[in-house]
Structure formats: structure tokens, C-alpha cells
Homo-oligomer: A and B are copies of this chain.
């Protein structure tokens, strides 16, 4: 069932672009810092997947919940995690989202609805169900979006979560960001059948969409989010996309066919959306240039902030383990 108002309007597209360029530039900044040795971090670049996150977030309310994975920068920024808090967390500083204790793989920022970022493949989904269960019981109208990769669709927690969400009609959206590889393994080598088809086995609607197409992605997201919010239950979205920078920072990506990479980069979704905005007259070159420049300025400020923020005191190792510090531990 396609719902009315599922199409992205001009404002939505501008918003998606603003988010996307912020993600793209932040990613470039982080990789620059890593390259120059100014930052040490296990970093999983979302470069190439910006539109998926930006379009999804454009359909969400500020208090909706998001769960994501180590490759989560795009999801974090799209949902509104403040750049300074994010950047400081990457640096392990006390002003980070999690006081530097969680780190870049575990960004949590409830004020922005980012509730969990997990480093264990597939684990976000069962937890997302729990967030959605709370919403269902409280009738708070929130939707929970859980992001995961193509590789994660082969782990048990995916299966258990899809089934439970469907049975209980939980207000959750399962967003599979299919970037065609799980670490170094191509999707078809580790996934029998098509991901989107798995939804049927749980009597759940499945939507296959080009995640790099902002309008298609927005429409798919919108449909799933509205369905969840209306109490009709979960949806699986398989958003096809690509990651330009390999699995983690430093990955030479030798397992990715050269032509595949070249083609993907030729279709870089962020400049493509930029061009589309201008072409359609939704924004002028000056306007998008300003968006780009604003992002750059914000990032520069956040990097400085993060670098200048102090490290947490080592006493932090004993706090937040339990609600109160244990005596003899």
C-alpha cells in the first residue's frame, strides 16, 4: 500500500542535501585526520551511503529512535547528533557524546534519539524491538529505525527480531543498508536468495529501493515510517548503496572489482543530488555552495573543539559501570 504524501518535496530534498553534504565532508575530515595521524580510531566510513541516512532521517520526528552500527556516522549526523559531541567522542574526549568512554563505534545521544550504536553485527535489531515495545506500551507515537548491513541479514538476531516485530506489530523499521559487501565478502557469497524476499517469511512487507536515489529512498522510508507510526507494524527496507572507502579505514579494497568501484564513484550520490537541486531549480548554485560552506565551517569548529577538549579523568573508569560506584570492585 502506497500512502499519500510519500513523495519528497523541495524542502525535503534540500534537507537531505544539507545532511548529505555534512556527512560527506565530516567523513572526509575524519579520514584526513586519520591520514595525518591526528586521530587514532577504528573508522568505518559511510562515504557513498549518505543519501540512505539523510532521506530516512528526513521522514522522522526528532524524538523517534534510531539504532545503528559501527558504520554509523551518517546515521548519527542525519538524526541530529551534534557534531561537536560526535567529534569529541571520536577523539575519546570528555566532551564527547559518551564522555569518550564508548568511542566512535558506540555513539549514544538520546537527546537526538540515537539510542544505541553497536559493534556486534545484527545486535541492534533485537534492541530496536525493545525500544519499539516501550513506545507501543507507552503509546508515545515514536518510531524506531534500526540500521544494519547486508551481512547482518545472515545472523540469527536478524531472524528473531523480524519475527518478533511482525508478531507484535512493533513500530519499527528495519533498514538494511546493502552496500554489497560485508567486510571483504560480496553479498551474494554470503547471502542465499534476496534480502528483501526474506520479509515474506515473516509476513512483513519488504521494499527494495535504490538507496542512493533521494526521492525513491525518501518514499520508501516514508511508507515504512508511516506504517509503523500507524500501528500497522514493521517493514523491511533493502536500500541498495555502496561504500567507497572499503570496510574500515586503511582497507585497500582489493576484493572490489575496479570497474564496480569506478562506476559507483561516477555515480556519487551527493554531488548528484547537488546537481539535481540546481537543475530542478530547487536551489541556486550559490545556495548549495553556502550549504557546503556552512558544513565545512561547522566541521572545522567541531574538530578544533574536539581537539581542545580534555581527556576524561581516569576516575571515569569506575563510574557508569553501575548506577552507583561499587565499593569493592
Contact of A159 among B156, B167, B203 (CB under 8 A): B156
Further contacts, 11 of them, CB under 8 A, given A192-B202, A194-B201, A200-B201: A154-B159, A156-B159, A162-B192, A167-B189, A167-B190, A192-B204, A193-B201, A193-B203, A197-B200, A198-B201, A200-B200
A/B interface sample: 7 pairs, CB < 8 A: A154-B159, A154-B160, A155-B159, A156-B157, A159-B159, A167-B191, A193-B201
* Chain B hits for A193, CB < 8 A: 166, 200-204
* Chain B hits for A136, CB < 8 A: none
Interface size for chain A: under 10, 10 to 19, 20 to 34, or 35 or more residues?
Answer: 20 to 34
Contact of A155 among B160, B192, B203 (CB under 8 A): B160
* Chain B hits for A309, CB < 8 A: none
CB neighbors of B among A131-162 (8 A): 154-160, 162
* Chain B hits for A253, CB < 8 A: none
* Chain B hits for A192, CB < 8 A: 162-163, 166-167, 202-204
* Chain B hits for A160, CB < 8 A: 154-156, 159
1/0 contact trace for A177-217 toward B, CB 8 Å? 00000000000011111100110111110000000000000
How far, in Å, is A124 (CB) from chain B's closest CB? 14
* Chain B hits for A198, CB < 8 A: 201
How far is A164 from B155 in the complex, measured between Cα atoms in Å? Answer: 10
How far is A155 from B197 in the complex, measured between Cα atoms in Å? Answer: 19
How far is A204 from B198 in the complex, measured between Cα atoms in Å? Answer: 12
The closest CB in chain B to the CB of A197 belongs to B201
The closest CB in chain B to the CB of A160 belongs to B156
How far is A198 from B197 in the complex, measured between Cα atoms in Å? Answer: 9
How far is A177 from B268 in the complex, measured between Cα atoms in Å? Answer: 50
How far is A194 from B166 in the complex, measured between Cα atoms in Å? Answer: 12
How far, in Å, is A283 (CB) from chain B's closest CB? 42
The closest CB in chain B to the CB of A201 belongs to B198
How far, in Å, is A160 (CB) from chain B's closest CB? 5
How far, in Å, is A10 (CB) from chain B's closest CB? 38
How far is A243 from B221 in the complex, measured between Cα atoms in Å? Answer: 44
CB neighbors of B among A76-131 (8 A): none
How far is A202 from B198 in the complex, measured between Cα atoms in Å? Answer: 8
